Amino acid sequence: MIEEGSKRGKAMVEKRQLFMEMRAQNFDVIRLSTYRTACKLRFVQKRCNLHLVDVWNMIEAFRDNGLNTLDHNAEINVSRLETILSSIYYQLNKRLPTTHQINVEQSIGLLLNFMVATYDSESHGKLTVFSMKAMLATMCGGKIVDKLRYIFSQISDSSGAMMFAKFDQFLREVLKLPTAVFEGPSFGYTEHSVRTCFPQQKIMLNTFLDVLMADPPPQCLVWLPLMHRLANVENVFHPVECSYCRSESMMGFRYRCQQCHGYQLCQSCFWRGHANGPHSNQHQMKEHSSWKSPAKKLSHAISKSLGCVPIGEPPHPVFPEQAERPQELTHTVQPKPVANNMNDTMLMSSGAPTPTKSVLESPSRLDEEHRLIARYAARLAAEASNSTQQCPPSDLSFNFDANKQQRQLIAELENKNREILQEIQRLRLEHEQASQPTPEKAQQNPTLLTELRLLRHRKDELERRMSALQESRRELMVQLEGLMKLLKDEEQKQASQSGGSPHSSPSHGAGCSMPMPIRSTSAGSTPTHTPQDCLAGVGGDVLEAFAQGVPRNLRNDLLVAADSITNTMSSLVKELHSVDDGGDEEETNMRNGGDRGTVRVPKH
């Protein structure tokens, strides 16, 4: 029970998190409801990372999750909705670079809670397919004309005409978004909204786009194009001073008064209703989304007066009125992903730099190709319809010939694409076969392998013997130092008894009694036969015992012992090095196919 209560509490906190963050932005100080609604929905869009998902990627996600086969009134539960949102965001992370990855779990949680709060106010735990499509297609990124084209495809019949009942259902669903951000009184649904938008009897695609993208659009949807304009001007810079806050530059929208000369306001001051001087909030203001220098304005005015610039540009391209037939892609050869090592081999053989990722595996490239194909198909259909309406019947044969040539060209390109893919597959198989090791290579030169194994065994034995001799040498040096200390103590006793030592060395003093620092010598260095060098790692007493010109007892015996140890170490090191060089040379010759002297392996 405690765990269930904690889960419910956590779910309530996550459900309110987005709305609490939106309230913290203080959007309610904006006096105009249209800007207030657009700013709130833009905040929700960016906070849920929906602005990074293009409308074409959203349509592809609908198709991948099988939503295009379901009826619009079919209901899906919250768990399946979460699965759909997960696929959308994980596909988004695959398209984004590694430095711009999003937090998928957080985005899913925020968007899921917002959709449930918007479209499941009675807590049934289910949403209709049409509600989800309308919400995600409206709130995702992309161009507004592409969004409206997709929405029209969902509310039109097979002949390409809009169904008023479907558009009424769309208005019911899309107007729940302003209500969710507490702007329902300004943009609520009414029964007369449909006839207010479209008083005509028959609505085709171009008419639908003309009405919803007009200036101004229908009152109930005036916030929709404004939300897209907000996204386009977020990083627009205006080098103009605000007449109220005296800021020397503006970001976003710029507003110019049509009555007060030279009076301009930034978007923050205009949205909050600030005014000073002779200017009043009742004056008509013009919204500017870009900045043009006076020189550009003058040149544009001259070009416009001379007829070089069209006076009125259409708000959207003209699309064919008839519904487009789906393309037949049954016989289209899809490119298969090719291994990176195969691509690297092909690029290195051609002298090109090796890429870090296969071009065929890039999802952004595939998405761009799909968009270009769709736009090109729409353009061909528009040109074909226009040419059919404008050209006389005598020119129809020419159009048929042109279409026939285009089909032949497409068939030739498909054949060429198929041949290229087959060649890539063949090269990839050859590369894999060449890279696999064969048993013949492993069993080559068994005699050399045996000799190499014996040499390595001999080398290990000599290394162990050298280590033992070094340890013995160190123990002998310690014993020598102890003997010299005893000899020195005996001489000091004799000197104290006789009043002076007849064998004291002139160089013996307080400075020579300090032990010298121990210097380590490498095992492979060539030793000399000088006693002082042979005893470089012992204390000062042993060195003092071998001082020149001072006869002492046991000196010759100790010197002979030291030279014997040094000579033994020298012969052992030489033998070890000869074995090491021979083993490395045999191994190098075997790796290079018996060609001796061509490759030199460095010593370790």
% pLDDT > 70, the chain: 65
Please state the rounded mean pLDDT for residues 51-65.
Answer: 94
Q: Which of 160-169, 301-310, 405-414 has the lowest mean pLDDT?
A: 301-310
Q: Looking at residue 541, what is its pLDDT?
A: 52
The better pLDDT of the pair 517, 561 is held by: 561
The Cα–Cα gap between 265 and 247 comes to 10
DSSP annotation of 50:
G
The better pLDDT of the pair 142, 342 is held by: 142
Q: Which of 163-177, 273-287, 309-323, 482-496 has the lowest mean pLDDT?
A: 309-323
Please state the rounded mean pLDDT for residues 247-254.
Answer: 90
The better pLDDT of the pair 345, 496 is held by: 496
Q: Which tokens sit at 106?
A: 């957080």
In this structure, the dihedral spanned by the alpha carbons of residues 495, 498, 504 and 510, taken in order and rounded to 10 degrees, is 40
pLDDT at residue 454 tops 80:
yes
The better pLDDT of the pair 272, 515 is held by: 272
Question: Within 10 A of 155 (CB to CB), how many other CB atoms are there?
Answer: 21
Please state the rounded mean pLDDT for residues 577-595.
Answer: 52
pLDDT at residue 55 tops 80:
yes
pLDDT band at 440 (very low <50, low <70, confident <90, very high): low
Please state the rounded mean pLDDT for residues 43-52.
Answer: 95
Residues in the chain: 604
Is the distance from CB of 286 to CB of 255 less than 8 angstroms? yes
Residue type, 315: P
pLDDT at residue 512 tops 80:
no
Q: Which tokens sit at 312?
A: 């009125």
Of 239, 241, 275, 240, the residue nearest 260 (C-alpha) = 275
Q: Looking at residue 466, what is its pLDDT?
A: 85
Is the distance from CB of 552 to CB of 480 less than 8 angstroms? no
Q: Looking at residue 346, what is its pLDDT?
A: 40
Of 202, 193, 194, 128, the residue nearest 161 (C-alpha) = 202
Of 128, 57, 129, the residue nearest 94 (C-alpha) = 57
Q: Give the pLDDT confidence of 345-392 residue by residue, as tens digits.
A: 343 344 444 444 333 444 555 566 666 777 777 777 776 666 555 545
Which neighbouring-strand residues pair with 256?
A: 264, 286
Mean of the per-residue pLDDT values of the chain? 75
Judged by DSSP in three states, 162 sits in strand
The Cα–Cα gap between 220 and 175 comes to 8
Q: Give the pLDDT confidence of 204-248 residue by residue, as tens digits.
A: 999 999 999 988 899 999 999 999 999 999 889 999 999 999 988
Q: Give the pLDDT confidence of 536-562 residue by residue, as tens digits.
A: 455 555 555 544 444 445 556 666 666
% pLDDT > 90, the chain: 35
Q: Looking at residue 565, what is its pLDDT?
A: 73
pLDDT at residue 31 tops 70:
yes
Cα dist. 402→322, 326, 406 in Å? 22, 21, 6
The 8 Å CB, 24+ separation contacts for 99-104 are 102/49, 102/52
The Cα–Cα gap between 267 and 238 comes to 11
Q: Backbone phi, then psi, for 75, in 5-degree steps?
A: -105, 140
What predicted TM-score, i.e. pTM, was given to this entire model? 0.53
Measure CA 168 to chain center: 42
Q: What DSSP assignment string belongs to 240-295?
A: ---TTT--S-EES-EEEESSSTT-EEEHHHHHTT---TT--TTS-EEEESS---HH
Q: Looking at residue 146, what is its pLDDT?
A: 94
Q: What DSSP assignment string belongs to 92-142?
A: HHHHS-GGG---HHHHHHHHHHHHHHHH-TT--SEEEHHHHHHHHHHHSBS
Q: Looking at residue 340, what is its pLDDT?
A: 42
Please state the rounded mean pLDDT for residues 335-349.
Answer: 42
Q: Backbone phi, then psi, for 156, in 5-degree steps?
A: -110, 160
The CA angle 299-303-307, to the nearest 5 degrees, is 170
pLDDT at residue 44 tops 60:
yes
- Residues 24-40, buried b or exposed e (16+ Cβ, 10 A)? eeebeebeeebbbbbbb
Residue 593: half-sphere exposure toward Cβ, Cα within 13 Å:
0
Q: Which of 130-144, 162-176, 259-273, 497-511 has the lowest mean pLDDT?
A: 497-511
The Cα–Cα gap between 118 and 81 comes to 14
Q: Looking at residue 306, what is its pLDDT?
A: 60
Q: Which tokens sit at 422?
A: 């087959």
Please state the rounded mean pLDDT for residues 36-56.
Answer: 95
Please state the rounded mean pLDDT for residues 34-43.
Answer: 95
Q: Give the pLDDT confidence of 67-112 residue by residue, as tens digits.
A: 989 999 999 999 999 999 999 999 999 999 999 999 999 999 999 9
The Cα–Cα gap between 274 and 243 comes to 10
Which neighbouring-strand residues pair with 126?
A: 77
Q: Which tokens sit at 133?
A: 């499509």
